[in-house]
A and B are shown apart, each in its own frame.
Chain A
C-alpha cells in the first residue's frame, strides 16, 4: 500500500468517525451486518429474501424512470407507453425490466414463502415476521393490479374491470365499494388517474415501510434454519452463537452471488424470452379501448 492509498483510507476513516459521533453508523453496521449472527447452515431457500429486496429496488428505479415519460390519462397513456418503447433512449429496457420485474417479484416471493412453510419459519417467536410478510404479499398484489391498468390496453382495462367486479360481488356493500374504487360508474380516466397515484406513491411507500418492519422483526428474533436449531440458545463466552456466522462477509457475498445468478436468468427473459413472463399474464397489449 503506497502513501496515497494510506492517506485516502485514513481520510475515509476519519470521515466515518465524524459521522459516527453524530449518527449511529457503525452501530447499525455492526448490529445488522458485520456482527449480526445468522445460522451457518443456510441453503438456497434462504436467498429469496435478499432477492426480493433486489427486485424491489429494480422496480422502484425503473418505475421512477418510466414515470418521467408516462402520461396517466386515458387519452395519452397508451401512446406514452409506445413513446417510451420507441423514442426514449433505453425506454424499451426500462419498460421490459419493470414488467418482467413484476413477474419476477412474485416468483421470488412465492419461493421465499415456500421456505417459511418448509422449515416452519412462521412459528414462535416469528409470528409477526410471517404476518408482516403476508401483509406485504397482499399489498404487492394490489400494487401489481394498479400497475397493470396503467398502459390502458385491452388486457389492462378488462383486468381492472374483472377484479373490481369481484369486489362488487360482496353482499350489501359491493356496489358502493366498487363505485368508490372506480371513482366513476365505469372504469375510466378517473380510475386510471387514481390507480396511478396508488401505484407510484401510496403502495410503494407502504411496501417500503412494511419491508422495514419485516426486517426489524427478523433481526429481533434471528433467522430460522433448515435444521431448526435455535442458534441463540448456545453462545460462547463472548455472546456469539456457536452455530452462527456474521452476516457480513459470509452472507453478503453469498447473496451477491445469488443476485448474479438471478440477474442472469432475469436478463435472459428481459432480452430474449419475454414470452416466458408474458405468457403467464397473457398479454400482449391489444388496441386501446375505443370509448
Chain B
C-alpha cells in the first residue's frame, strides 16, 4: 500500500453505463482493480460488465461497501455527482471529467470541506498504485511497483515521467494526477504530506505547469515539512502570456503563474528542478543513489 489506494480498495463508478465509463471500467477491471458497482440514475437494477448498477451513490455504497468513487459524468452534471458522492460518505472521489464550470468547482470545494471526502481532480487521469489498484485512465502497463511518488497536473506528461521511472527500475509507489483545472480537490501540498508520511515512498516527482500558485505553495510546504527528495518539472516555460494552454488552469495572467517563478520558488525550497522533462527518472535515480 502506498497512499490512498491499494489492493483492498473497493471502487464504484458513477457514469459506468456511459461510453467513457464503460471503456475505462473494463481497463480498470483488467488491471485488477476491485471495481464493485456503478451508479447511473434510472438504471438501478441493471448489470454492466458483470457489475450491479445502482440509482444512487448511497445505495451503491451500502450494497458494496465501496469507499472510492470514480466519476465519468458529463461536465454539466459532474459537480452534482461529486457532491452526491461526498454526502454519501465516500472517502475518496476521483473526478475524470473535463470542462466543469469553475464557479461550480468553487461551490463544490466549499461544500466538500463539510464532509470526510477527499477529491482528486477534476480534469485528471486519476490515481494508481501499480499492480494493486488503478482508478483512472492511465495505461497500466507502463507502471512498475516501486518507491517513487508522482504528483502531476498533467495526464500524458505524467506517463513520460512514469515511463522513465519504470525504465530506471525505480518504479512508482503511487501516481496521482491532480488535474489541469484552476480549482481542484487535492493539491500538491495535500499529496506531498501523504507521500512524506508513507514508508513505501523514498522520493517524489512533481510535475507542475503554468498558472496559479500551487507550486509556490508546495515549495513553502516542502521547505517546512518534506524531508524526502523532490524532483520537479514545470511545463509551459515557452507558453505566451494570456493564452489558456489546453488545461483550464494553464494560463499566465500578467506576471503571475509563470514557469520561471515556479522553478525559482521550488529551487529556493531545496527541490531538484529539471528543465528537461526527459531527464526526470535519471535525476531521481542519481539522487536516490547518493
A-B complex is real: no
Residues of A within 8 A of B (CB): none
